[in-house]
Amino acid sequence: MSSILDLRNKRAALWEETKAFLEEHRDANGLVAADAVETYNKMVADVQALGTEIERMENQMQLDAQLSQPTSAPVRQEFKPTGNVKPTATDAYNKAFWQMVRGNVTPEVRNALSVGTDSKGGYTVPDEFERQLVQALEENNILRQIAHVIKTESGTHAIPVASDSGEAVWVNEGGEITDADPTFAQAVLKAFKMGTLVKVSNELLNDSGVDIAGYIAERIGKRFGNAEEKAFFTGTGESDNPAVPSQPTGILTTLNGDITTDAYTAITFDDVYGLYYKLAEPYRKNGRFICNETIMLKLMTLKDGESQYIWKPSLEIGKPDTLLGHPIHTSQYMPALAGTTADKNKKVMLFGDFGYYWIGDRGSRTLKRLNELYAVTDQVGFIGTQRVDAKLILADAVKCLKMAAA
């Protein structure tokens, strides 16, 4: 395999030389001198010959693999999980999965993994590993901790949203009660694909003392968590442009500024108080603030009408600080204040019940091992993928503070 890779690298380098040679020997009219054409054709022929040799060697390798297969199918017991245990939650699947990760793919391992194979050649991660991965996602994604997360096996998930709850009316005894049916809109969560590539050295994979599951979960979880959190705030949603990938619709993308500061240079107590009471009371009781750390520093200096600081540090481990008695969280993906004219019109703070921001995970996450792509550096690649969408299904549940335009 290494000789094939060497030939591919040699062929690519030769082709770059060939193109460069052609450009160097063009005259002012763009024509190639006759004496250079023969050399150019020879170089092209060498590139083609290398391609033919690579194809021959790959065909030979494929034929060798076919001939090395047993002439009769071995008798094997079909892998069937017992009881009501999910196939990817069994000890057998978990053991086989990590054998695959370390490169020990025996027929028994392949048979056990058959219950979790996807259409692209990857494998569904074991349930225990997925819980570890989801935990890593939550640790690196503030909205996953406070939003409403669902899991669906279908490509889309329709969410009915009551846009009018109707009303009750007073009537005379025996009088007619008029219709007051609520009206419904519909929010739809789809499944947008996210992926990342982690490279691991063979030394690390073969070191039995290394928690390879934790290592991969941490790397993938952190990357997924950061990419998700950014999209959950500023994501542009479904795209009609093939060059622009679809992604979840961010909260800041959905909302306009409900409260605007008097000046773009400062946030005052009145601004925060206005934002607080802009949110309707049913949502306010579960309300949380979210902002960038640069804004948190400004909020820490604000006082109410009785000269009391409105920001309070948390005294309990695992509990967030509070602002006006409600939890406040920070995210690097919320806009920061730079103290310049660039701060104009920035949406800098959210307050609301983020249980109305729905995150939909489709199916299970998958992991695919790449054996040869990084062989020259003695590494193995792992591609992790997931499908997710998210949307604020009720705009009234979250309000936004916006900096002034002047």
Q: How many CA atoms lie within 13 A of 267 on its CB side?
A: 29
Beta bridge partner(s), residue 401: 259, 349
* pLDDT computed for residue 316 by the predictor: 77
Whole-angstrom distance, CA of residue 111 vs CA of residue 92: 10
pLDDT digits (tens, 9 = 90+) for 7-54: 777 877 886 787 788 778 777 776 777 777 788 778 867 877 776 777
Whole-angstrom distance, CA of residue 340 vs CA of residue 395: 30
171 CB-near residues (< 8 Å, 6+ apart)? 177
Tokens of 156: 């889309």
Residue 378 region by backbone torsions, left for phi larger than 0, else alpha for psi between -120 and 50, else beta: left
8 Å CB contact between 136 and 222: yes
Q: Which helix (H) or strand (E) holds 228?
A: helix 212-234
pLDDT digits (tens, 9 = 90+) for 197-238: 988 888 887 776 667 777 887 888 889 999 999 999 999 999
Mean pLDDT over 378-402 rounds to 92
Mean pLDDT over 277-306 rounds to 93
Q: What pTM value is reported for the model?
A: 0.67
| CATH number 3.10.400.10 given to 88-163+183-406 | no
* pLDDT computed for residue 53 by the predictor: 78
8 Å CB contact between 228 and 144: yes
Residue with tokens 């990857």: 122
Burial 280-300 (b: 16+ CB within 10 A, else e): eeebbeebbbbbbebbbebbe
* pLDDT computed for residue 188 by the predictor: 85
DSSP assignment letter at 316 = S
